[in-house]
Amino acid sequence: MADIQVLGGPVRRGTEILTPEALGFVAGLHREFAGRRDELLAERARRRALGVLDFRADTRAVREDDWTVAPVPGPLRDRRVEITGPTEPKMAVNALNSGARVWLADLEDANTPHWHNVVGGQVVLRDAALGVLEHTSPEGKHYAVTAERPAVIVVRPRGWHLDDKHIEVDGRRVPAALVDFGLHFFHNRGPYYYLPKLESHLEARLWNDVFTKAQADLGVPHGTIRATVLIETIPAAFEMDEILFELREHAAGLNAGRWDYLFSVIKFFRDAGPDYVLPDRDSVTMTAPMMRAYTDLLVRTCHRRGAHAIGGMAAFIPNRRDPEVTERALAKVRADKEREAGAGFDGSWVAHPDLVPVCREVFDRVLGDAPDQRHVVPDGTVTAADLLDVASTPGKATAAGLRSAVDVGVRYLMSWLGGTGAAAIHNLMEDAATAEIARSQVWQWLRNGVVLDTGQRVTADVVRHVLAEVGAALPGSAAAVELFAEVAMAERYPDFLTVPAYERI
Ligand SMILES: CC(=O)SCCNC(=O)CCNC(=O)[C@H](O)C(C)(C)COP(=O)(O)OP(=O)(O)OC[C@H]1O[C@@H](n2cnc3c(N)ncnc32)[C@H](O)[C@@H]1OP(=O)(O)O
Ligand SMILES: O=CC(=O)O
Ligand SMILES: [Mg+2]
């Protein structure tokens, strides 16, 4: 224990989570795997420096051979509606009662990793697993899980890129992914996880080895854990088969994480010239050729391998106080889910309980009594050129788009720094992934000197001017404005906005 330091302050009921045994377990994972994690992060940078993306020659056999992942476990058999949300107690109860089949309990895109969120989230997850989760709001409203069939909990730990500054082992910070997974698995024995932001099959292999050791250390049978991997980076799109193969004894499916995927496309090609400059965020829809290629390949890969293909998040949020906003959100979400169900997905995500019925209805119509449509393997081939066809994305870079990116980015960072990692902004769900798009788009437009629809070229002065106007209209935004400038305008592009942001909380 002497070499395990907890640097975060006290959190209510935190001692139930940060027990010597649980910390020892996390330290064991850290000692075995942190070094490999470091090498894999360095490998991300090396791969981008090469500037080339293609299917790998050395894994051709994995793509061509016949194999399948382990059989789907009973509780994950039917995933037609999954609700996502942070592990805050009220939302946790609401998600479990929402009628969705799965609750993606999010320690990643929807969560600010304040220490009290990290530890408090584990308290909520433990109570939920034990069936004792309850909450009373400041207004005195009582929340308890009453659903006959509460959603199955699937936990999303943070990605490989972040270290947690509140736990040190042998003098160094522990990868946040190992903190989140380790504490959760120690207290609840899993067994279901979503794995975010992977860039390669070697990162999947690392997760597989973490699962193997974790199960062995705690005497849990090998293969109990089941992971759904988000394909939400462009490098990972070229290794879908390989990722499932590495995790085949622990894999449950793949998910099309569209927002981080777009972020990754911009990030990977941020200085690759005009053919790779994306237009306004709201014009890049899932019907853009490169997005269609990505989801087609995902569904085909999953179904060939017996895994579930889970759709992504439409960002439109209903508003119980504004029927027009709600009607628009329902129509947009319905169209999105119909596209996904028609393309072969087995289920999809919603961001709000009021969207559960529409997603369920759309998938009920396509699935009928069957729990999924894994037996449907769509024909066709997706080539590297299809995945990389950024140039055919319709839309323009506009002055309104620039303002919106800056405005949403600053508003979101205000929320994130304040401890709330998902927010409804202008009736859209914004989280770390969508904010990454906003700031990366500004960086890309600036680097490429993009000319907007108004004829104005994007320069540092133009961005500074918009940022000053946005900041002036938002009281208390100084820290968020400064952070936005750092992540959208720095000469050297920061890989993740959450890394510098984390040092400020
Ligand atoms: C790119 C990606 O990774 S997507 C996945 C990550 N992102 C997310 O998970 C975002 C999930 N969604 C949310 O966080 C929220 O819906 C927000 C922040 C967008 C909007 O939340 P709010 O402003 O509270 O919405 P609203 O006021 O309409 O909520 C109404 C009720 O629904 C509840 N609710 C809203 N969203 C959720 C949710 N996702 N899960 C559970 N309950 C929810 C609220 O707690 C509230 O409950 P109450 O009536 O008991 O008070
Ligand atoms: O995590 C999901 C995404 O779209 O990003
Ligand atoms: Mg994501």
pLDDT in the model for residue 420 = 97
Confidence at 468, pLDDT banded by 50, 70, 90: very high
To test the pocket of ligand 1, the residue of 81, 91, 411 to mutate (highest count of ligand atoms within 8 Å of its CB) is: 91
Confidence at 2, pLDDT banded by 50, 70, 90: low
**Closest ligand 2 atom, residue 433 Cα:** 5
Using DSSP's 3-state secondary structure scheme, residue 294 falls into helix
Please give the Cα distance from 438 to 323 (Å, whole number).
28
- CA dihedral 48→53→58→62, nearest 10 degrees, is 120
Please give the Cα distance from 253 to 396 (Å, whole number).
35
pLDDT in the model for residue 1 = 56
As beta bridge partners, residue 348 has: 81
Helices (H), 368-494: 384-387, 399-417, 432-447, 460-472, 478-489
Q: How does the average pLDDT of the chain come out, rounded?
A: 97
ipTM topping 0.90? yes
Contacts of 498 (CB under 8 A, 6+ apart): 113, 161, 162, 416, 432
Using DSSP's 3-state secondary structure scheme, residue 62 falls into helix
Confidence at 482, pLDDT banded by 50, 70, 90: very high
CB atoms within 5 A of ion ligand 3 belong to 109, 232, 257, 260, 433
The string of DSSP letters for 97-123 reads TSS-SEEEEESSTT----HHHHHHHHH
For residue 320 and ligand 1, the question of a CB distance below 6 A is answered with yes
| Ligand 3 centroid distance, CA of 357 (Å) | 23
Q: Rounded to two decimals, what is the model's pTM?
A: 0.98
pLDDT digits (tens, 9 = 90+) for 111-135: 999 999 999 999 999 999 999 999 9
Confidence at 273, pLDDT banded by 50, 70, 90: very high
Nearest-10 crossing angle of helices 460-472, 432-447: 140
| Ligand 1 centroid distance, CA of 352 (Å) | 5
CA torsion sign, 287 to 394 to 283 to 323? Answer: negative
- Of the listed ligands, the closest to the CA of 421 is 1
Q: Kindly state the average pLDDT of the residues 382-386.
A: 98
Listed in order, strand segments (DSSP E) in 162-267 are 163-169, 172-175, 192-195, 226-231, 251-256
**Closest ligand 2 atom, residue 196 Cα:** 1
Please give the Cα distance from 181 to 189 (Å, whole number).
10
pLDDT in the model for residue 51 = 86
For residue 108 and ligand 2, the question of a CB distance below 6 A is answered with no
pLDDT digits (tens, 9 = 90+) for 70-125: 999 999 999 999 999 999 999 999 999 999 999 999 999 999 999 999 999 999 99
Please name each of the domains of the chain with its CATH number.
Answer: 4-386 (3.20.20.360), 396-502 (1.20.1220.12)
| Ligand 2 centroid distance, CA of 432 (Å) | 9
Tokens standing for residue 180:
């989140």
For residue 429 and ligand 1, the question of a CB distance below 6 A is answered with yes
